[in-house]
Amino acid sequence: MYENLLSPNEFANISGISRQTLIFYERKNVFKPILKNEKGFRFYSLEQLDVIVTIQGLQTIGLSLREIQDYIENRNAELIYELYSSKLIPLKQTVQKYNRMIEMMNVKLELIKKAKSVLLDTIYLEYRPAIQIIKSKEIPLDASDTIQYKILGEHMEYRKVKDYSLGHAVAGIVDWKRAIESMTDKTQYRYYYTILPSSHEETDYSVIESGTYIVIYHKGPYNQTYEIYPKIIEYVNENHFEIESVLYEESLIDETTESDPNNYITQISVRIKEIF
């Protein structure tokens, strides 16, 4: 009556499904042996391989065993079309989610690698391509700590909603004139900003222009980066450079990487306008 019968072990080896899984499917009435003889021995057929592959595929896209059972009993082309159509969008969203996680991890690895390779408190000249960013509200010159944290919090919430983190910490823009004239003992940011991913839907974004930048790397808390500004001023004057009006401060090592703020590493850069 039946040809090409296989024992559970043989079927398990051919299908790649464990014997325990076959027993589980049988108990749940999802997939049964084609024959059980008078001695209670179970047998499967080669023709059942297509069914078991289908079951595994349906589990992969998130169907419950009950849904799989209904599908196996009533399957047809129209049903599978509707099923796959309904599952395609959430699957794509899951793929996008994991792709962004991979991108975030790669960015973080590159930042840590760069932090390990640079010399601290040493001036570099680096060419940088243009970078698209989204800025916070402007921080008033006389803003209290409460106001600054409020603006920072709003910016962090926006980038969280938009899923713009991608491994980069919130960065800061410093007004150069304000920085060198200030008598305060902490770094004063004019804006916070976030580097945008390569693909985004923002229309109101800003651009950090491409060009040659004076770059220096500072180790320590964010609010102490001002301590290295005199070194930049000295280098600019010695080389007769004219520079842009803002500094960009980006974290290589931040609070997500180090628990001790004294080990934070910040990249400070300012664009050269002309060389005389």
* Predicted pLDDT at 75: 80
Pair (57, 128) in one structural domain? no
Pair (138, 234) in one structural domain? yes
pLDDT > 80? residue 181: no
Domain of residue 204: give its range. 105-275
Would residue 246 count as lying in a domain? yes
Using one digit for the tens of pLDDT, what is the confidence trace for 21-31?
A: 999 999 888 89
* Predicted pLDDT at 134: 94
CATH number, domain with residue 42: 1.10.1660.10
* Average of per-residue pLDDT values in the chain: 89
Taking residues 262-274, what's their average pLDDT? 92
Q: Which of 57, 75, 93 is the last residue of a domain?
A: 75
Structural domains counted in the chain: 2
pLDDT > 50? residue 274: yes
Q: Quick one: pLDDT band at residue 1, thresholds 50, 70, 90?
A: low
Pair (22, 71) in one structural domain? yes
Pair (38, 110) in one structural domain? no
pLDDT > 80? residue 165: no
Pair (123, 66) in one structural domain? no
Taking residues 195-224, what's their average pLDDT? 91
Pair (160, 109) in one structural domain? yes
Using one digit for the tens of pLDDT, what is the confidence trace for 213-250?
A: 999 999 999 889 999 999 999 999 999 898 998 999 99
CATH number, domain with residue 170: 3.20.80.10
Pair (233, 117) in one structural domain? yes
* Strands, E assignment, the chain: 5-6, 35-36, 42-45, 124-128, 131-135, 171-175, 191-195, 206-208, 211-219, 241-243, 246-253, 265-275
